[in-house]
Structure 1
Amino acid sequence: MNFINIVGIIFAITVMLFAMLFGNPQPMKMLNAHGAIIVLGGTMACVGIAFQLPRALSMVRVFFKGILTTSLSRDINKQIIQEMMVMAEAFRNNDPKLAEMIDAVKDPFMKESLTAITDEVLDPSRLLKVLHSRVNTIYERYADDAKMFIACGKYPPAMGLMGAVTGMIFLLGSLGEPGAEKSIGPNMSIALIATLYGIALANLFIIPVGEYLQEIAKRIRTKNFIIVEGIRHIQTRQNPVVLAEELNSFLLPSERVDWKSLGKK
């Protein structure tokens, strides 16, 4: 469970409600079915047209899986390198428990990569090409999900403006009626609520989700490239220390594995 994202979503909703209700003598006027229908309905229609229905419906799955459950710790790459060092030593020594060690690997991509070595279906060079292709495929899929959310961020404000214009048309159309001057202010505020809904939906939820998925895609790609490079060293039965030094090249100095301290433990 990704608690940070959950807290962020709750905080965004709280800020929105606080801004709408605090100091407002008539908070119920902030609720407007006309604006909500145009913004939500219009956005869903645009998304369905732009991405086709099956792909659009997958956004719900991506939201719950990517935002509420997917979480990569900042030291994930360091952990990967340390685990690759252990596996490199096991392969060098033909550890009898190698199969059990591979089964215990938690990262799916690392697990299937190590299994591919033991299966010996592909020669080393071809296996590396296959793994690189898989890295790119995984990244492109995550990046596509991110682009989809970011692209959808332009629809709610536009639908909100449409709702505001619709409300203004109704307002101007009633100006000739008796007592119309008393309803100008209230009707104007109702017309603008649709714009508020659209801006809030886009900038508090949709766009941040897309940018988060974009960041996750980049971090997963880096992690997987580290794994592929580690596989290359394991194939040649490279020394774990050499492997660590090579893989540290992917990380900033503060993030790198200190293999010297590991040897002292």
Structure 2
Amino acid sequence: MKKIDLLTPIGIFIGLTALLAAIYTNAAGSGELTDFIQVASMFIVLGGLTAAMLINFSISNLRVLPKVIKETFQTKDLNLQELIDTFVSLSSRARREGLLALEAGLEDVEDPFIKKGVLLAVDGIEPDIIKDIMMAEVVAMEERHRKGRYILEKAGEYAPAWGMIGTLVGLVLMLQNLNDPATLGPNMAIALLTTLYGTLLANLVFNPMANKLALSTEEEVFVKQIVVEGVIGVQSGQNPKILEEKLSAFLPNHVKTEEEEVLEEKVVNG
């Protein structure tokens, strides 16, 4: 189940707040936000970035960009212990009533990947083939995520580059008008602010989002590996306790510690 990930907007907000605080609390005490708003610099960075993305990707690639960005504002509620309990329950039922009985109990399972695996097991497919089918889906998922993440990664590369291009444009304009002191300030502003805009977009938006998606993919692959092992265990008729011990090996150490503490409390309290 997905829920809103507040860390992404909070991180962007903190980054912008820190930048604004630096502007208004500079040593000279004369910082103004309007000093850092330069329309020409925005045109160079945003226009150049857009042009580069259009050249680099096809329309079909870019259509997924809003969905990819949306994913960085969402997170999945991963309860590994609950997942393990699900397979222990399925294993118990399979040993008690047979594999065919599992199909009727899938109504309470929300994850389509689990459903697919259990249905393959119910159909009597060999464990190795089940694993191959399910891992092929995992590989396909990784590739889809990689392609979406790649768009953000390239944007993170192009934004600073176009910032440097804007800096060169500003420097050329400044050098061509050295005899007119009135133009030095605006041209220097273009030179420096384009670099600021490009670097800010790359390091506050595009690259952090891409890295967040990469971590999210790793977590999802990890969970799907647990599912695959759980399905194979159920299909092969493993003892529920043995299956639970096997799947518990995937739990992080801090989760294992919490589980052990709960068990100890139960023993102490009788």
TM-score under structure 1 length normalisation: 0.85
Q: 1:254 to 1:25 in 2, by over 3 A?
A: closer
Q: 1:141 to 1:83 in 2, by over 3 A?
A: same
For the 8 Å contact 1:160–1:195, the answer to whether it is kept is: yes
Of 160-169 and 143-152, deviating more is 143-152
Tell me the CA shift for residue 38 of structure 1.
1.2
Of 91-100 and 32-41, deviating more is 91-100
Correspondence for 1:40: 46
Count of equivalent residues:
257
Is residue 189 of structure 1 aligned with residue 227 of structure 2?
A: no
1:218-233 to structure 2, matched below 5 A, reads: 218-233=218-233
Distance 1:108 1:18 in 2: 47
For residues 156-215 of structure 1, the C-alpha deviation after alignment (integer angstroms, 9 at most, x for no partner) is 110001111111222222223xxx224424431332101000000000010000100110
Distance 2:75 2:207 in 1: 17
Correspondence for 1:198: 198
1:142-153 to structure 2, matched below 5 A, reads: 142-153=145-156
Percent identical: 26
Correspondence for 1:212: 212
Which residue of 141, 147, 157 corresponds with 1:154? 157
Correspondence for 2:76: 71
Q: Which runs of 5+ in 2 are unaligned?
A: none
Is residue 17 of structure 1 aligned with residue 20 of structure 2?
A: yes
Distance 1:78 1:94 in 2: 24
Q: 1:250 to 1:67 in 2, by over 3 A?
A: same
Distance 1:151 1:77 in 2: 34
Correspondence for 2:116: 112
Which residue of 57, 74, 93 corresponds with 1:90? 93
Tell me the CA shift for residue 225 of structure 1.
0.5
For the 8 Å contact 2:91–2:238, the answer to whether it is kept is: yes
Q: Which runs of 5+ in 1 are unaligned?
A: none
Which of 1 and 2 has higher RCO (CA within 8 Å, sep 6+)? 1
Tell me the CA shift for residue 97 of structure 1.
7.5
- The one-letter code matched in structure 1 to 2:115 is K
Of 136-145 and 163-172, deviating more is 136-145
Q: What secondary structure is seen at the aligned counterpart in 1 of 2:64?
A: helix
- The one-letter code matched in structure 2 to 1:239 is N
Q: What secondary structure is seen at the aligned counterpart in 1 of 2:249?
A: helix
Distance 1:88 1:143 in 2: 34
Distance 1:100 1:21 in 2: 64
Q: What secondary structure is seen at the aligned counterpart in 1 of 2:63?
A: helix
